[in-house]
Amino acid sequence: GENVEQHPSTLSVQEGDSAVIKCTYSDSASNYFPWYKQELGKGPQLIIDIRSNVGEKKDQRIAVTLNKTAKHFSLHITETQPEDSAVYFCAASFNQFYFGTGTSLTVIP
């Protein structure tokens, strides 16, 4: 089956700086790559996604890039704010979702 690895496991940045979270996947059949934000006590919230026929997608301060050849994809958050603090999960999907182990992001005011 698919194996998704996510790095780093924890990340601290100063408010206003950028944050980058990276994921790799193993199954070349995976064709859908969502990113979720999970706050304490809540379910994961879909923040951005990308399909395998697209290399980059941006939504305001959030962007995702995909390199199919290298089987890796990344989440980029610019101009970070304290409310961006949460755990972020990547996932890869073909016939089911496989999640990474999560990145705990702390934005220091």
Partner 1 sequence: DAGVTQSPTHLIKTRGQHVTLRCSPISGHKSVSWYQQVLGQGPQFIFQYYEKEERGRGNFPDRFSARQFPNYSSELNVNALLLGDSALYLCASSLVGVSYEQYFGPGTRLTVT
Residue 86 is given by DSSP the state E
End-to-end CA separation in angstroms for the chain = 41
Q: Number of residues interacting with partner 1: please give it, by CB under 8 A.
A: 25
Is 71 or 78 the residue whose CB approaches partner 1 more closely?
71
Q: Given candidates 84, 102, 105, 107, which one binds partner 1 under the rule CB under 8 A?
A: 102
35 in contact with partner 1 (CB under 8 A): no
Q: Which of 27, 32, 24 is nearest to 6 (CA)?
A: 24
Query: What span, in angstroms and rounded, lies between the C-alpha atoms of 35 and 4?
Result: 12
Q: Given candidates 21, 65, 93, 107, which one binds partner 1 under the rule CB under 8 A?
A: 93
Give residues in contact with partner 1 (CB under 8 A).
4, 6, 31-32, 34, 36, 41-46, 49, 89, 91, 93-102
